[in-house]
Structures are given as structure tokens and as C-alpha cells.
Amino acid sequence: MPKDEYQSRDFKVVGTRPIRPDGIDKVTGKARYGADITAPGMLWGAILRSPHAHARIRGIDTSKARAIKGVKAVITRDDFTYQPEDSDMADILDNCMAGETARYDGHAVAAVAATSKSIARAALAAIEVDYEVLPHVTDVDEAMKPGAPVIESGRQQENVPKGYSENVTGRSQYGHGDPEEGFKQADLVIKRSFKTAATHQGYIEPHACLATLGSDGQGDLWVCTQGHYMVRNVCAGVLGLDAGQLRVTASEIGGGFGGKTHVWMEPTALMLARKSGKPVKLMMSRDEVFRATGPTASSSVDVKIGMTKDGKITGAAATYRLQAGAYPGGIAFLSAMCGFAPYDLENVRTEGFEVMTNRPKAAAYRAPGAPMGAYPVESVIDELCQKLDLDPLDARLKNAAREGTKSSYGPTYPAIGLEATLKAAQSHPHWTAPLGPNQGRGVACGFWFNFGGDTCVSLMVNPDGTVSLSEGNPDIGGSRASMSMMAAEELGVPLDQVRTIIADTASLGQNEVTDGSRVTFAVGLATIKAARHAVEIMKERAAMTWGIDPEAVDWRDGAAHPAGPNAGKFPPMTIKEIAAIASNTGGPIAGHHEVNAEGAGVSFATHMVDTEVDPETGAVKVLRYTVFQDAGKAVHPDYVEGQFQGGAAQGIGWAINEEYIYGDDGRLQNAGFLDYRIPVASDLPMIEPVILEIPNPGHPYGVRGVGETSIVPPLAAIANSVSRAAGVRLTSLPMSPPKVLAALKAE
């Protein structure tokens, strides 16, 4: 990892709060999202989905659907004649269109394209599927037991111990030292079991795309996604196309939070387009989004922690069991890595089990695995503090990881910001504000790795001296603004001289999806390097004009300057002047940078929340919420704050009301925003964001990713707050009113 990337400097643009460049389009309704585009001769696609949690597909009769006027294509799995060799691709294909078996309620079994939405709906209704219903399992603990219905045989990895169902496909282990020895040194050891429900990312924009694909294998796809390069690569891999023949353009994206880092239906749209010979628009309904795209995993966790009277954690252990849904994979290993990551521990061991169930394939959701990693750990630490009469912030500070700490998942930390968030929390007025009856205050910490990855950026200096920046990551929350800001900072030009666009897959090299809070870090790093590349070229052009050595040219304030008196006396050449004569000094000027970015700094947050519990109904009201998080360097503080606030709000929903509810029949009972209850405006207080800036050594400006860490602490912070308000420890999420009232009455 390049440790020397960070250099302290005075910023002119970075750290200010300009209006975002895509703002006007978005407040006037002009911005084009996934479903907002049409094409001449376009057809409407629709997907038929299994009503059964688990069923063998004995046959599909599409003849009646094909006979309907206006129906131009009907496809089933038989139409996907290419069989990917890669098992991940084969799983994605099977998830997009079921083969022999429908594995969950909502699994696609057929699709149509027709001249109108209503004809497409009628065609779906005319398709006859012969199902043989099979036994199903949707609960993670049940699915692990020997004898549970098996979702797919032969997928278990060798590292799974004997005695489990084949549904347990993987096991991971982390840690160091000996927790059992540690527990012996403790004054108090608490062991508890916790559960969290599956929650959905809940982006407001359903998946949508517009596809064309010719018999020559050339295609175009317009799609709302967090990664159009990923969509291209996966669609090519699933359909046996050449990636270079498929151009994918990212639409504006109406939220993703990890849920749009996967492919759920785009190969289907392409196949319908190929079969019909027409462009096909395919959009999911909200019901389909809930039933057929991945929520995050539900979890079942055991945690054991020992602490001394003065608050030192002596031993720590946790077992995480997470449901991966209908295909192998899963994120229990991430829970196992993240749970104890905030702490400097001598004895810590964690293990994670990945478990298949008859549910939609679990997907990434903002810091995948980390919230359910932290929730049980932070809950038990809080309970230890209560029982040992310790201040929960002091106790966390006593155990806090810092530079040089060997983390619970392996690496040794460079400079990190956990202590700074804890100290900021201690000195904030929220911490000492009085509480009323039935109110409680909770705190919790959270960790996320952050990520870099493959990144390409191209920066063009136009003939008039303005700058066009191309990047390849969909702008999910203001990243065009921050890229323009970093380019302007590096070039020394006014912000309005730079415009950033999201290039399609044919216009820029490979880019990793918008995940791991990577964009401001990695694309920012590539933007800075691309700008430096352009600056080097411009320095050469100025040197050529002046007839001096390029080494003798400095770049500052958007202009080339002679480096000193010895370089010669020349008036500065501005970017505009250099651009104007570029044709005569060697041709157009552009910088670019291609990198697998490393050095994404880990980030930590501490959250503080006050809740009030209605002792008669179990209803929880969130009264006050403060987020303390290390951003490394906040490029655009408004959007950093927005990430803090948005993550907290999603965590509040997860903690109090959100859950996938399955019936005994294995069907999802609440596939809509009415009964899948994300927070509404009147549910929440203002969420105060406190930005800490502990520079990331791996980024030129010290930037760390900020998008994901903010969802890690809320589950435990609220659970701790509610448990203190109610006087009883809550161990199951969501803490819905019936659960809280039952816990109160059991006391």
C-alpha cells in the first residue's frame, strides 16, 4: 500500500459546499433514470415469477401467450442456450431465469415482450407452469439442521464441519489469542444470542433497463445500476457475448445501497430483445423488487465477551450464521471480520456460517455483514458496562483500536479515527443532555473496510481551456460534484470550468462497481492523478513555448510559471492560453489514469441516540441522534453529512420496523412499502452529523470512503438506547412494538 500518498495542503475547492452539477436536472424532473427512456419500436417486457418457495418446474406451456396479438417474444430458460462454465455466472443465469427448480417465491420462470404493458400482463397470465411443490426452508437456523430441505446439493465447501445440512455452504474463521483464557481473567462474562431480520435496501427506483441485441451479437443496454461495467461483463458472461460488442450506459440511479451491484434481470431484457428483434424496456414493480432482488441476510448470532471491573475486554468470541438465500455465497465472513474490528483485543475468535435458504439471493446492502456483525458485540459491551457500572464511552475508549493495533480480522491498522469519534462523542452536549422518564441513551461503534479497486479516469483539456472529466462509476449521491472539485483543486481552476460525466462502457476502461464506499476515494485518486498527468503535459507545452526545460516550470493557480529566477522571466501561461495553442505545440491535451486503487483507509463511527419507549404499547420513538464519523477528508461536506444521515436513517429502520416476513407457505407477506416499513419523515428527528478528519495515508487528500460505515452502529446504538429506556435487554431485530411490549411484560 502506498503509504506516502497523503500530503497536507491548504484546499481552495475541496471542503467547500458548491451546488451539485446534476442538481438542476434533478429538481426539474429532467434527469433520466432507468425507466425514463424510450426507443423507436420499443416493446414492453414483463416477467412471470414463481408463487412457490420451492418447486420443481415440470413444464411451461407458453402457446396461449404466444397466440395473443401484440406478443412478440416469450422466453423461458430453454431460450438461454449458452451454458456458462463459470459457476458464479451459472448461478446468476439461474437466478435470472429458473432452470429445473424455482428456488424462492418470486423466482423468474418466464418472460414476455409485447407492444403494450397491458398485453404483456395478459401474456404472463396466459403462461401455464406445471409446478411440483417441494418442501422449503426460509429460516437460517432451521436450514442448518441435518434433514432440512436442501436447496441445492453439492455446493458445500470442505471447510464446513460435519453435522450440518448441505445448506451450510461455507465457514470462515478469524481472530487471534485464546478467548477461553481471556474469559478466565474477566470479572464478568456475558454470553447472549441475537437475531436480525432480513432487510431490503429499499431504493425508491425499481430496477429498469432498455435493451437492444442483434443477431450479430451487438447490443446496447441502458440501465440503472451501481456498475455498468459489471452489468456488461455479467450479461456477456451469462449470454456468451463478447463484452466489447455490448455497450452499457448507466442511467441516473434512484438509489442502490448495494442492491444495484448485482444483475437481476438484464440478461432477460437482452434475450427478449434478441428474440423479438426490437428494443425492449423491462421494469420491475415494487412487488418484484422485494420478492426477486436481494435483501441483506437475516442473522442468528452468539456472542461471548469477558470484561474486567475497570472495563478491559479480556476475551471475545462470536459465531455468525447468515442466510445467503437461494444460491451459495453469503456475507457471514464479513460479519465475522467486522464485529470486533473497533477493538484492540488480545483474545478474539469469530466464525461465520453461510447458509442457503429458499429466499431471494442475498445481496450487498451498505457495509454488507457489518451491521449484524457489530450489533451483537456492541449490545453485549453495553450490557457489561451496565452491570459493571462503567461509562460506555470510557469503556470503548479503553479498548479502542488505534494505529498499530492488530485488528481482529488480521491486518495491523495505520492511522485510524475511532478514538477521535469517541472523544468527540464524549465532549458533545448530546452526551450530557438530561433524559426524561421512559427514555434511554445508547451508543455504539462501527467499522467498515472501505475499498478501492479497478478505476479509470480521463481528463480532457478542451480548446477553450475548460475541462471535461470522464469517469465510469454511476453517481449515486453527488460524486460528479466531488470529482469536479478534486480536478479543479488539482488544476487550480474554478470549479465551473470542469464538467464530469459518467462514460459508457465503450468509452473508458474497466471500472469496479460503485461499492465499498470506493468512489470518492478511488475515482478521486484517479482524478487527481489524471489531472497531474494533464498538468505535466501543460508544463511541457509551456516549457516548449518559453524554450526552457519542463523541469523549470511550476504549476499553480491554473497556470504554468517559471520555477524561479534562473528559469527565465516569462509571464505565466494560463490553462486557457496553453489550450488555445495546443494544436501547434503537439496536439490535444488530456490526462488519464488507470489503477487498481489500494490504500482505502478503514473508517470508524460512533453513534449516539436517545429513544423513548411507550411502556403500554412498546412503541419506540427516536428523539435525538448524533453521528460521529471519520471522513479522512470531507471533499463536499454536505454530501458527507448526507451519507452519515442516510446511513443512520436506514439503520433506524432496520432496528425498529423493517423486516422480511415469511408465511408458513414460504411466501413473502410484505412485498410493498405499506408493510415493509422504511422510516417516513415524521418518524425521525434531525440527525446531527459530526465530521472528523483523520487523513487516510493512502489518498493524496486523505480521503476515506464514508458511505457505508454510517449504517453499522445504529442497530446496536438503538438497541442499547431502547434496552436502557425499557429496563430490559432486547436481543432481536426489529424491535417492533409487539416484541418490545412482550419483553416489557416478561420482566
Q: Which residues in 279-298 contact other proteins (CB under 8 A)?
A: 283, 285-287
Q: Does position 616 bind other proteins by CB under 8 A?
A: yes
Output the CA torsion sign for 409, 411, 417, 420: positive
**Strand-pair category, 439-448 with 603-613:** antiparallel
Binding-site member from 5, 220, 252, 351 for other proteins (CB under 8 A): 252
Question: 327 and 361 in contact (C-beta within 8 Å)?
Answer: yes
DSSP three-state, residue 163: coil
| String of contacts with other proteins for each residue 681-700, x by CB under 8 A | xxxx-xx-------------
- For residue 580 the three cell numbers come to 488555445
Comparing CA positions, the residue from 130, 127, 134 lying closest to residue 53 is: 134
Residues 395-454 that bind other proteins (CB under 8 A): none
Q: How far is the CB of 736 from other proteins (least distance, A)?
A: 6
- Mark residues 202-221: x for contact with other proteins by CB under 8 A, - for none: xxxxx---------------
The C-alpha cell that represents 68 in the structure block? 395473443
- C-alpha cell of 588? 490535444
The yes or no reply on residue 58 touching other proteins (CB under 8 A) is: no
Q: Compute the distance between CA of residue 446 and CA of residue 316 in angstroms, rounded to an integer.
A: 16
Binding mask 513-532 for other proteins (x = CB under 8 A): --------------------
- State the minimum distance, in angstroms, from the CB of residue 443 to other proteins: 19
SS3 533: helix
From residue 146 to residue 175, what is the string marking binding to other proteins with x (rule CB under 8 A)? ------------------------------
Residue 139 as a binder of other proteins (CB under 8 A): the answer is no
93 to 132, contacts with other proteins by CB under 8 A?
A: 117-118, 121, 125
Judged by beta carbon, residue 256 or residue 342, the one nearer other proteins is 256
Question: Which of 269, 262, 258, 256 is closest to 209 using CA atoms?
Answer: 269
Looking only at the bridges linking them, the beta strands covering 467-471 and 603-613 are: unpaired
Q: Using the minimum distance from each CB to other proteins, give the nearer residue, 206 or 698.
A: 206
Q: How far apart are CA 212 and CA 273, in angstroms?
A: 5
Minimum separation from the CB atom of position 165 to other proteins (A):
27
Judged by CB under 8 A, the chain residues 361 through 400 that form the site for other proteins are: none
Cβ closest to other proteins, residue 595 vs residue 619 = 619
Q: Nearest approach, Cβ of 19 to other proteins (angstroms)? A: 5
Asked if residue 692 lies in contact with residue 673, where contact means CB atoms within 8 angstroms, the answer is no
Site for other proteins in 455-494 (CB under 8 A): 476-478
Judged by CB, which is closer to other proteins: 411, or 685? 685
- Minimum Å gap between C-beta 521 and other proteins is 18
> In terms of CB distance, is 161 or 437 closer to other proteins?
437
Q: Is 736 in the site for other proteins (CB under 8 A)?
A: yes
Give me the least distance between CB of 120 and other proteins, in Å please: 13
Cβ of residue 616: shortest distance to other proteins, in angstroms? 4
**Which listed range, 182-190, 278-286, 496-504, 511-519, lies at the site for other proteins (CB under 8 A)?**
278-286
CA distance 505 to 60: 36
Footprint of other proteins on residues 644-683 (CB under 8 A)? 645-646, 648-650, 656-657, 661, 669-670, 672-675, 677-683
Query: How many residues sit close enough to other proteins to count as binding (CB under 8 A)?
Result: 78
Candidate residues 33, 302, 388, 492; the one interacting with other proteins per rule CB under 8 A: 33
Q: Does 496 participate in binding other proteins (rule CB under 8 A)? A: no
Selected from 7, 8, 10, 29, the binder of other proteins by CB under 8 A is 29
C-alpha angle 79-80-81 in degrees, rounded to nearest 5: 95
**Whether 13 contacts 631, CB under 8 Å:** no
Alpha-helical segments (H) within 263-369: 266-276, 286-292, 332-338
- Minimum gap (Å) between residue 438 Cβ and other proteins: 14
Distance CA 487, CA 540 (A): 19
Q: Residue 461 to residues 472, 574, 585, 589: CA-CA distances in angstroms?
A: 18, 12, 14, 5
Shortest separation between residue 657's beta carbon and other proteins, angstroms: 5
Residue 75 near residue 260 (C-beta atoms within 8 A): no
Sheet strand arrangement including 559-562: 553-556, 559-562, 573-574
- Residue-wise DSSP of 87-128: HHHHHHHHHHS-SSEE-STT-EEEEEEESSHHHHHHHHHH-E
- Least distance to other proteins, CB of residue 401, Å: 27
What's the Cα-to-Cα distance from 514 to each of 253, 491, 528, rounded to whole Å?
Answer: 11, 25, 18
Q: Nearest distance from residue 619's CB to other proteins, in Å?
A: 7
Say if CB 365 and CB 325 are below 8 A apart. no
Near other proteins by CB under 8 A: residue from 184, 617, 665, 727: 617
